[in-house]
Amino acid sequence: MEWTPDARELADLELLLSGAFEPLTGFLGHDDLHAVHERGTLADGTPWPAPVTLHVSADLSPGDEVTLLDPEGLPLAALTVAAQEPDGLTSGPVKGLGAPEHGPFARLRRTPAEVRAELGGRPALAVTMRGPLDDLSEIVATAKELDALIMLLPLAYGEAGPAVVRAALRAKEKLPQDTIVVSVPLTPREEPEIDLELREHVSTAYGAAEHLAGPDPVHIPGPPHRRGLVVFFTGLSGSGKSTIARGLRDALLELGSRTVTYLDGDVVRHLLSKGLTFSKADRDLNIRRIGFVAAEAARHGGLAICAPIAPYAATREEVREMVESVGADFLLVHVATPLEECERRDRKGLYAKARAGLIREFTGVSDPYEEPDDAELVIDTTHISIDAAVSQVLGALRSGGWVR
């Protein structure tokens, strides 16, 4: 079978294949994970600081082979399954099938073996970076004391990756001429001590004799009215969410203080998601596509309004994470008009067709709607006008500082 890991798993996969995670040869299983958490070693006692895991939702058996793909479908590695836990945790060795495709600064993405060959036995001081290096004096003094070459390792992961590499290249201009820069896709670990240990391990794999950790960047978010925002309406068909969303769009356009992108569920179905069915898999894909477009609009400070049914909690959470990963804010609005009222309205006759068995997998009738427990705003349109509902959403935007 084929499987596309998430962004963190793909970054770990690249380091497994390159040898930067040596002695690991694949993703860890239950026993190794337990040992890492308890003792900071693998099950056989080999020192190792951090979990390196893969989750696959499909049922697998020991000996099965899984082709791991990048997001564009390019085969990267073959995983031979050693074991799979009930939660999808899948362990086993990996074997490379092709070089990963890289974006900006691909020329700086090199394997530890390549870098060690370039060093030729010379001592190196590795400096791992997740942000700019404001003070280079300690680096220069330490390298001079060790009589070592300086090796900058920008830990280029996620949206901030290119900026970290640019910071390393700027620092290189002020350092000795033989300073080298190697981009490493190491994802941050939540616990600072474990993150530091992993940085040191990777530095050693690249041939460093000593390691310095650059300071973590300080992120100061801008004021809400300058940040990207996605207002995501969810609710049953006929709940009023699309009408409220259009009203909000019109109100924001009248104010003129924000750039607005409006993504209506029906319109997206006819264009962006044309050809998809109403199976759960296709519904999830439809919502992911809406989330992706909304996140791209919000990435650069825009305000996106979405109004799909979005019946499944896990997929709504994926969209929230997608938006927040680009530095934007996410406001979930649950239009909680009861099913009975939605059926009473039924302007399109959809509920009647669903009750008659003419529409399969219809949300609220033959397919579930998972009510959100994480909505920032809940509106029931049974006894209020659309104008009043729009005013509630606009009020939330004003109180949150997103609209002035």
Which secondary structure element, helix H or strand E, spans residue 379, and what is its range? strand 377-379
Residue of 44 and 367 predicted with greater confidence: 44
Q: In the numeric block, which tokens belong to residue 346?
A: 């039924």
What would the mean pLDDT of 345-362 be, rounded to a whole number? 86
Q: Is the dihedral of CA 245, 250, 256, 262 positive or negative?
A: positive
The pLDDT mean for the chain works out to 93
Q: Please check whether residue 251 is in contact with residue 244, taking contact to mean a CB–CB distance below 8 angstroms.
A: no
List b or e across 126-156, with b for residues whose CB sees 16 or more CB atoms inside 10 angstroms.
bbbbbbebeeeeebbeebeeeebbbbbbbbb
User: Residue 381 gets which letter from DSSP?
Assistant: T
What would the mean pLDDT of 93-119 be, rounded to a whole number? 91
Per-residue model confidence (pLDDT) at position 347: 80
Q: Please check whether residue 128 is in contact with residue 213, taking contact to mean a CB–CB distance below 8 angstroms.
A: yes
Whether 169 has a pLDDT exceeding 90, the answer reads yes
pLDDT of 244-276, one tens digit each? 999 999 999 999 989 999 997 677 877 887 888
| Least confident piece of the model among 60-64, 130-134, 174-178, 370-374 | 130-134
Beta-carbon neighbour count of residue 341 at 10 Å?
17
pLDDT band at 364 (very low <50, low <70, confident <90, very high): confident
d(CA 356, CA 360): 10
Top mean pLDDT of 81-90, 98-107, 129-138, 219-228 is at 81-90
Per-residue model confidence (pLDDT) at position 121: 93
Whether 47 has a pLDDT exceeding 90, the answer reads yes
Residue of 95 and 268 predicted with greater confidence: 95
Per-residue model confidence (pLDDT) at position 243: 94
Q: Please check whether residue 305 is in contact with residue 248, taking contact to mean a CB–CB distance below 8 angstroms.
A: yes
Q: Please check whether residue 151 is in contact with residue 122, taking contact to mean a CB–CB distance below 8 angstroms.
A: no
Per-residue model confidence (pLDDT) at position 220: 65
pLDDT band at 102 (very low <50, low <70, confident <90, very high): confident
Query: How buried is 6 (Cβ within 10 angstroms: 0-12 exposed, 13-18 middle, 19+ buried)?
Result: exposed
Per-residue model confidence (pLDDT) at position 103: 76
Residue of 366 and 148 predicted with greater confidence: 148
Per-residue model confidence (pLDDT) at position 222: 80
| Least confident piece of the model among 18-22, 275-279, 290-294 | 275-279
Q: Choose among 280, 271, 330: nearest CA to 309.
A: 280
Whether 84 has a pLDDT exceeding 80, the answer reads yes
Q: Please check whether residue 82 is in contact with residue 29, taking contact to mean a CB–CB distance below 8 angstroms.
A: yes
Whether 179 has a pLDDT exceeding 80, the answer reads yes
List b or e across 45-54, with b for residues whose CB sees 16 or more CB atoms inside 10 angstroms.
eeebbbebbb
Q: Which residue has the tokens 């994802």?
A: 187
What would the mean pLDDT of 100-125 be, rounded to a whole number? 91
Q: Which residues pair with 136 in a beta bridge?
A: none
For the entire predicted model, the pTM comes to 0.68
Q: Which residue has the tokens 């620092």?
A: 171
Q: Is the peptide bond before 23 cis (omega within 30 degrees of 0)?
A: yes
Whether 101 has a pLDDT exceeding 80, the answer reads no
Query: Percentage of residues in the chain with pLDDT exceeding 90?
Result: 78
Nearby residues of 59 by Cβ (< 8 Å), 6 or more positions away: 84
301: left (phi over 0), alpha (psi -120 to 50) or beta: left
Per-residue model confidence (pLDDT) at position 221: 73
Whether 180 has a pLDDT exceeding 70, the answer reads yes
Alpha carbon 400 to chain centroid, angstroms: 24
What radius of gyration, in Å, describes the C-alpha atoms of the chain?
A: 25
Q: Please check whether residue 42 is in contact with residue 35, taking contact to mean a CB–CB distance below 8 angstroms.
A: yes
Per-residue model confidence (pLDDT) at position 279: 83
DSSP per residue, 202-226: HHHHTT-SEEEEPPPPPP-PPPGGG
DSSP per residue, 60-106: --TT-EEEEE-TTS-EEEEEE--EE-TT-BEEEEEEE-SPPP--TTG
Alpha carbon 347 to chain centroid, angstroms: 38
List b or e across 268-305, with b for residues whose CB sees 16 or more CB atoms inside 10 angstroms.
bbeeebeebeeeeeebbebbebbbebbbbbbbebbbbb
Single-letter code of the amino acid located at 160: A
Whether 310 has a pLDDT exceeding 90, the answer reads yes
d(CA 39, CA 23): 17
pLDDT band at 118 (very low <50, low <70, confident <90, very high): very high
As a whole number of Å, the end-to-end CA separation of the chain is 51
Beta-carbon neighbour count of residue 240 at 10 Å?
24
Whether 219 has a pLDDT exceeding 80, the answer reads no
| Least confident piece of the model among 95-104, 123-132, 185-194 | 95-104
Residue of 265 and 321 predicted with greater confidence: 321
